Chains A and B, each alone.
Chain A
Amino acid sequence: MTKHLLTIKDLDSWYGQMQVLHEVKMHIDKGEIVSIIGPNGAGKSTILKNIFGLIEKRKGKIFFDGKNIIKSKPENLTKLGITYVPQGRSVFPNLTVQENLEMGGFIRKDDLSEDIESVYKKFPGLKERKDQKAGLLSGGEQQMVAIGRALMLKPKLLLLDEPSLGLSPQMKALIFEKLIEVNKDGVAMVIVEQNAKMSLNISDRAYVLELGKNKMHGKGKDMLRNKDVAKLYLGGG
């Protein structure tokens, strides 16, 4: 097997009695941005949850850095270098921005101040609000807090579930700009997006999923030009 950062082999996954993933195959290389696109209910978010050990009923293999992590729990995965930004407002609303970032580094025993500063450097707007409760921030700022928090462990792989959901177009663009910056530091990413155009634009590769099965796979830019993808997932554009 080649040395991918993450390899998913024949992954089946269930919610109760309902099978939502069927023999899904996927890989992510070091430093890559990979998008998963597809219609509602295709199982996109389920893949992220599977990588992050949040789904119990499943079969198959997931290798990270050559190690099978199918039995690993989220706590252990964060230690291995995978962090996850779930969908929606995933901050601690009553904790300050600073405390949110500190919680991102919860499992670390060393001093966090340097890395908190580097998050503020990336998201300058957050520094001014560091003592405000995260729940009082705008949706976009909350998303930045959540991404910043996930960076506190200096992950090798960042999982992002709909990072632009519910944000204004300008804010969406800003978030994607920031993701490119983060990626330049060597962080590989898996992005699940409804807003496929933007995420395909910044992606090296993309997987199209339909009804829990692999449908298509290719380079991000090629997907943007692909007529079927355009018709089905990019709003006719």
Chain B
Amino acid sequence: MGIAAQLIINGIIAGGIYALVALGYTMVYGILRFINFAHGEVFMLGAYLGWVFNILLGVNVIVAGVLAMLGCAVAGFVIDKIAYKPLRGRGMLPPLITAIGISLFLQALAILIFGAQIRTFRTGEVVRGITIPFIDAIITKIQIVIIIVSVALMVALHFYIKYTKTGKAMRAVADNYEVASIVGINPNKVISYVFIIGSALAAAGGILVGMEQNLTPTMGVSIGIKSFTAAVVGGIGNIYGAVLGGFMIGLIENIGIWFIPSGYKDAIAFAVLLFFLLFKPTGIFGVKKGEEVSV
């Protein structure tokens, strides 16, 4: 019982992070039909910004987290404006290649500023986990924070998308780009909001992971690809799919290492990606092909 429960807990923790990052991929894809491959690096940037505010400048950790989210929101907005917006309407490939370029640029920038070595939020004390009664699994304080913060942000996003005017406009633009312009919605404004929100969520994920593990300039690569996998599994374009996909990937890879050596953990997520791309490319809540728009 102990091991199974532990693996499930670990899966939920990882899943929360994947889901947070997957939301950014899926929201952008939902409107632009474009995979923002620089999104994992925004996650990394969030971790470093949090580290700068908290460790270097000594700001309270919660405030540092909020500042990092704001910083990444600005970064997401700027990246869209200078790198992606000029390419809109020029096909699928140019923005995709640009995104890969931005991703490499941000990694190089992080190495330039922070160095290639590991940075850490830790102060040297040994982190002791808490044993959860009855199921006999261990969880650390920061892991509890990860679950609470990620779920809280997802719930907040749900209410934002469902009930606010901008949230509805986001769904409208994703649904029918042309008609959205016809009713007077400015799609570019809505797209900016999508980048701002998606980047802030990724930043939150970055800080949480940074606090639980460590910071490296390439920390966004594997989480980026796994979160992208989560978005595909859930049905890219659908935010509830991204959440489901995130938790699914987290659980599958953590439970998977019960059966196969833990060195293959990363391979599990990619096997799932491959499986879905081959047999169910639209994912679980997939967007129907007929509704796609080219932007």
Contact = CB atoms under 8 A, between A and B. Distances in A.
Interface stretch (A16-24, A31-39, A78-86): A78-86
Contacts of B291: 93
A94 interface: yes
Interface in B240-295: 291
A91 interface: yes
Interface residues of B, number: 18
Interface stretch (B35-43, B148-156, B171-179): B171-179
A144 to B, nearest CB: 15
Interface in A74-129: 74-75, 78-79, 83-84, 86, 90-95, 99, 102-104, 106-107
B186 A95 contact: no
B175 A93 contact: yes
Given A102-B168, A106-B169, A95 B175 contact: yes
Main SS of chain B's interface residues? helix
Interface string B179-191: 1111111100000
Contact of A95 (B165, B168, B182): B168
A74 to B, nearest CB: 6
Contacts of A52: 182
B184 A74 contact: yes
Interface residues of A, number: 22
B171 A106 contact: no
Given A93-B291, A95-B168, A106 B183 contact: yes
Contacts of A156: none
Contact of A92 (B165, B179, B184, B186): B179
A149 interface: yes
Contact of B171 (A74, A84, A94, A107): A94
B184 A91 contact: no
B264 to A, nearest CB: 38
B179 A94 contact: no
Given A103-B169, A106-B169, A91 B182 contact: no
B178 A103 contact: no
A153 B184 CA distance: 10
Contacts of A79: 184
A107 B189 CA distance: 13
B172 A78 contact: no
A107 B165 CA distance: 10
Given A91-B176, A91-B179, A95-B175, A103 B186 contact: no
A181 B8 CA distance: 61
Contacts of A83: 182-183
29 contacts: A74-B181, A74-B182, A75-B181, A75-B184, A78-B183, A83-B182, A84-B182, A86-B182, A90-B176, A90-B182, A91-B179, A92-B172, A92-B179, A92-B180, A93-B176, A93-B291, A94-B174, A94-B175, A95-B171, A95-B175, A103-B169, A103-B172, A103-B185, A106-B169, A106-B172, A106-B183, A106-B185, A107-B183, A149-B183
